[in-house]
Structures are given as structure tokens and as C-alpha cells.
Amino acid sequence: DSCLRAPLIPATPPLPPRATARLHPLPLLVGALFAAYYHLLVEPAPSYYQSLFLSLGSNDTAAAHLRALTVRPHLAGTEANALAADHVVSTLSSLSFPTRVTPYEVLLSSPVRRSLSLSAPGRDTTAFALVQDTYPGDPYAAASAEVVPTFLAYAASGSAATEVVYANYGRTEDYAYLASRGVNVTGKVALARYGKVYRGDIVKNARDAGAAAAVIFTDPKDYTPGKAFPDGPWMPPTGVQVGSTFKGVGDPTTPMWASSEGCERVSVAEAMAFPTRVTPYEVLLSYPVRRSLSLSAPGRDTTAFALVQDTYPGDPYAAASAEVVPTFLAYAASGSAATEVVYANYGRTEDYAYLASRGVNVTGKVALARYGKVYRGDIVKNARDAGAAAAVIFTDPKDYTPGKAFPDGPWMPPTGVQVGSTFKGVGDPTTPMWASSEGCERVSVAEAMATDDMPGIPALPVSGRDGEEILRLVGGDVAPEDWQGGEGAPVYHLGPGPAVLNLSYTGNETLATIQNVISVIEGKEEPDRYVILGNHRDAWTFGAADPNSGTAALLELAERLSKLQTKGWRPRRTIILCNWDAEEYGLIGSTEWVEENRAMLTSRTVAYLNVDVGVSGSGLDASATPQLDELLKQASKKVQNPDNGTESLYDMWMASDGSLIGRLGGGGSDYSAFVQHIGIPSVQMSIWSEYAVYHSVYDDFTWMEKYGDPMFRRHVAGTP
């Protein structure tokens, strides 16, 4: 049953007795809201309101909100993220919208210790710094100290000191290839690169391949094809994509039910009032405690990797970078591996199948895979399933630095690391399928971490520079052409060995309080019918593109709606604005809220419009359930192309690679619980291009201002 802790919506008749692509709603969001189809949101409104709304856009307002939201890194469960919630609350409340924070206690993951060193015969051990460097003049240099250390949320605590197996993108097909080549991942550290699958899949694939641990790197091939930030938009050399490896959605401790406080019901009158508030949930999160990675090979000293994303001269975020979480993979298992490396391409199942076909045994090895094809949680899981002892995921410069690295260009810098979650579920892992309410039944942390949705082996993300350093010492057969890196990269070999990775990771999986912010604009004619707009607030680092370009646009939207209200406008149906927490760990905040309010939302919600990465470049991308296809088309024709005033967003859309409407599936963002749990028509839209600094310390206001949206016109276009 759905249990409400606090008021939910404006007064209406009493409740009856209880019985996929990454896209973006904001451009459609309210273009859909006000300009497009009356059947979704607004009564056939006078053209006056439509014209007035479209004229109220403010570049300065969007930029100001984004700047305020990205002053400090704000990972879910941290004080800084609570302060970011305060900004959202104060802005919405100042616009006279009833606003509330909805807290949930959910399971989050944070790094406690992490280390990564590389050794190989005949060379000194390299201890990786695991730090994303700032740059000269970086305005975030000081704040970077607050960024969570590079890690993969929910990665298992543990260590591995073993050889590395390069697993390409960490996909199942990559491990299949390794197997085909006779490369045994079992007991090894799987090194994979980001770019093809979710990081949780990268780690899971490494685990499933038998890897003892996984390391994921942002290969410059994928993330720095041009100038790296700050000289360009691409990932700098030390940039690290952090993130969750949880493959579920919602609070891992309350999967499929809400992480709510108790289960007390409020009266219908209180529920219908729905003031803006924060809704907290206590959920299982993951943080790094210790981590290390070193590389050794015969005839060379051991290299200890720093596991740090460097700042750059003048980096305005250099100080704030100290707050950034260390590079890690959330929910990765604590443990260690000191064993040979097997390169597993993108860490897909087909990659491991290829390895098997080549006689490469992954069992007991470290699977090295690159980001880019599958979710990092699958990369690690595939490594695990292939028998790897650990997994390492890197951002291959081929994928992430095809041009100048940031700050000279938009691409990932050499030390950039993509962090993230490896949890393959959704919601709180300790309350699967029910809300994480106060006093609710929970599975133990040990039980939650032992499910197949968790990576089960130690895993670390590393930079493209570190990934290539490892691959220089990996021997065995030469990897296929499509497993190779970009220009200037070493020749990638499958392994195993002679390079040995000594990986150690200790994570802290702990119950932490997250906070959703919920605000309501009461409908005029159908107040008990809801159109819900949402995006998440929590970020692995500063989160300028992911997700706060969406939050800034959502707040800009709220300001416009407030101005319309002063002119006498009211929406036909109730609009609910939702700012989710802990999305990065596994869609936890949105899943817990849906689990808590399932019955009401199922019967009353007309549509859910999701905004994740609101702006990351040019081009319009859209996904939806089929009911909203026509709405997307018509709404996008009402909004001007921010890069060409003679065209509409629809024209931009048709000119982009993603001109077809994608279908929402999997756990890509906060639409998941609405679509898969309660069957609500949903949309995900964004004005975006693939951006290389994703989940790294370089996703900050400077990158956005230089490369993502220099004039903030795209933020404004993304709002109507």
C-alpha cells in the first residue's frame, strides 16, 4: 500500500478506498506545457499567455541558477547537496509555489579508502593518484577539494593485486572475445573503458567473467577527441568519470517500495494540500574509504597510480575540487586483487566471449575495460561473471579525447576519471520493491550487497592516461582493430600479463538521508490530475551538465510560471515539480517517492516529463512512450532553435543524428519508476551532444560556459 507521511496535493475529491537514449523534456517540457497540446496540460489558453510565456526567458536567470548550483560539489547524502536543495526550495518558495522537501533514508555508497598501483617486471611500481587535476585559473580549484574521491558507488570493498586483463568496454561480448582468445579473466583485474555500456554493467561483466576487481577508465579515444577542458570541451587527461555501479533503481535498501518514515497516513485534506516540502528517505549509499592501484611488470619499477583528477592552471574550481569524492565506483565490493591484467575492450558480454574464443582466461585476473558502450555496472558485472578478481574501467582517449582536452577544448583531460554507480537495480537496495520509510523492514546491508544487482568484486575507474599506462605493459595477443585505442595510443594487447595490477578498495555502504524537493502548482479545472516534471539534483562532482543544467532550467521554468500566475494564469491540471536526490546511485529518490505514493500516482498522473542532462551541447534528442510522440513533434515546433533563430527546435531535431523518437527503457534516468513501476506516459528530452567530461571533476560551470552553452540560450530554449 502507498503510505503518505505528509501532505501531497491541493484539495480535491477524497481518495477512493485503497484497494531508452538520453533525452530531455525541458525543451518540450513546457513547449508541451503551454504551446502544444491542451490535452496534456493547459486548457485551450489565449495566445496571449503562450506569447507571454515564450517571451519571459532569461539567459541570465538560467546562468545564475546554474552558477549557484555548481559552487560546490554536491553528492547525494552530503551537506553540500542539502544546501543545493535549500537553493531549490528557496527559489520555488520565493515564487509563491507551495514547495516541500521529501526526505528518504536510502543506501548510498561513498569511498573510504582507495588505492591503485601498477607494477610490471623491470619497472618501478606506479601508485596512481586517483585525482582529477585542476588547471591554472580553475575557478573550482578550491572547491574541488570537496569533490568525492574518484570512485564507483556501490563497488564492493576489497582489494586485488593481480594481473590486468583489458576488457575493452567491459561488455559481455568483450569478455566473450577474451574467452575466445584464451584470456582468463578469473582472479584478474578487469580494465575496461567507459563508452558503450553502463558502468554498473562494466563492473558486473568483469565480476561475471571472474575478475577479482574492475578498473574503468575514460579512454581519450572516446572522451578527448579534441582539445581537453579548459581549452576545449573534452575530458582532460586526469579526468575521471565517477558514478554508481548499482544496476537497480531507487534506494537499494527499499527496492520497489518507498523509503518513507513509518507508514502513517495523513488525512485526505492534508494530502491534497501538497505544500512544497523536502521528503527525506534513509537509503543505502556507497562511499570510498580506501583505494589504491599499482602496476608492475617484469623488468620495471612498480607504478602506483595517484587516482586523482588534476586541476589546471587558473582552475576556478581548484579549491572546491578538494570536496569532490575520490574517484571510485559506488557499491563496488571491498577487496583487493594482485594479479595479471586482461584487457576486455568495453566490458560487454560479447567482449568476454571473444576473449574466451581466443583462449584468454579472465578467471582470477583484473579485467581492464573502457567506458563507452554499456553501463559501468554491467562492465563490472561482466568482469565478475567472467571470473575476474577485480575490474578497472578507463576513459579511453579514443572515445573521450578525440580533440583538445579541457580547458583548451571540450574533451576529457588525461587525468579525467568517470566515476559512478555500479548498482544495477533501482531504489534503496535495503528495501527492494517497497518504500524506505522510517521503521520499515529492511534487508541487511550484507544481503543487499550480495544480490546480483551489485558488482560483487572490487572495481575502480581510472583516467585515460592511467588506462593507457596499464595497457603498455599488457602482453598476449594483439587486440582486434576495433579494440584498439586512438592515435598515439600504445598497441592494446589482450593479456593476461605480464602486467600485474595490485588493486585495493574499501568502500563504506551506509544508510544516509537523501532529500527530494516537491513543489505543486494547483490546477484550475482538474486539480486531481497531475503533470509531473522532474530532474535530479545530486551530482558526482560539480554537475554543471549532469544534472544541474536540468535543475537550472527547471527553476527558470518555475520563475516563468510564477510570472504567469501574477497575470491571472492557472494551469488546467496540477503541475508537480520534483527535484530528485540520489539518482546517480540508482534512481533512488524518484523510485522511493513512486513506491511511497504508488496508488495515488497510478490513478492520477497524466504524464511525467524528465530532465536529466538538460544541456550539454547542440542537437535535440528525445525519447518517449508512444502516447507522447505527437506531442513531442508539435511542441518542438513552437520553440526557437537557440543556435539558429530562423529555425525551430523541431528543425534542430530533424537535422541531428537522433531524429527518431527513442523508446524509454532500462534504468537510464528518473523516468524509470514512472514507466516501469506504474505505467505512466513519459518523456525524456535534452539539448545535448555526447560530452566527454561526464561524471568527472571537469563537469563544472566553466566547461558549460565555454563549451556546453556559452550564451545560455540552450538552457532557455530547453525550458519552454
What residue has cell string 520563475? 559
The pairing of strands 500-521 and 288-304 is antiparallel
Backbone angles phi, psi at 559, to 5 degrees: -65, -40
Do the Cβ atoms of 696 and 132 come closer than 8 Å?
yes
Cell of 309: 583528477
Query: Vertex 522, ends 519 and 525: CA angle to 5°?
Result: 155
H/E run at residue 650: helix 649-655
DSSP one-letter code for 545? T
CA–CA gap between residue 399 and residue 409 (Å, rounded): 15
Peptide bond into 498 cis (omega under 30): yes
Q: Which of 226, 220, 150 is nearest to 407 (CA)?
A: 226
Do the Cβ atoms of 144 and 323 come closer than 8 Å?
yes
Q: Sign (positive/negative) of CA torsion 652, 654, 656, 660?
A: positive
- Would you tell me how many other CB atoms lie within 10 Å of the CB of residue 38? 11
CA–CA gap between residue 177 and residue 181 (Å, rounded): 6
Do the Cβ atoms of 214 and 388 come closer than 8 Å?
yes
CA–CA gap between residue 643 and residue 706 (Å, rounded): 15
Q: Which of 683, 710, 704 is nearest to 535 (CA)?
A: 683
CA–CA gap between residue 596 and residue 593 (Å, rounded): 5
> Catalytic: 447?
no
The pairing of strands 640-641 and 644-648 is antiparallel
DSSP for 580-637? Answer: ES-HHHHSHHHHHHHHHTHHHHHHHEEEEEEESS-BSSS-EEEEE-GGGHHHHHHHHT
Helix (H, G, I), strand (E, B) or coil at 480: coil
CA–CA gap between residue 503 and residue 338 (Å, rounded): 6
Do the Cβ atoms of 279 and 457 come closer than 8 Å?
no
Cell of 140: 573550482
In the chain the first and final C-alpha atoms are separated, in Å, by 36
Q: For the chain, count helices (H), then strands (E).
A: 21, 33
CA–CA gap between residue 51 and residue 280 (Å, rounded): 38
Cell of 611: 530532465
Helix (H, G, I), strand (E, B) or coil at 445: helix
Q: Which of 340, 583, 584, 596 is the catalytic position?
A: 583
Please compute Rg for the chain using Cα positions.
23
Active site residues: 583
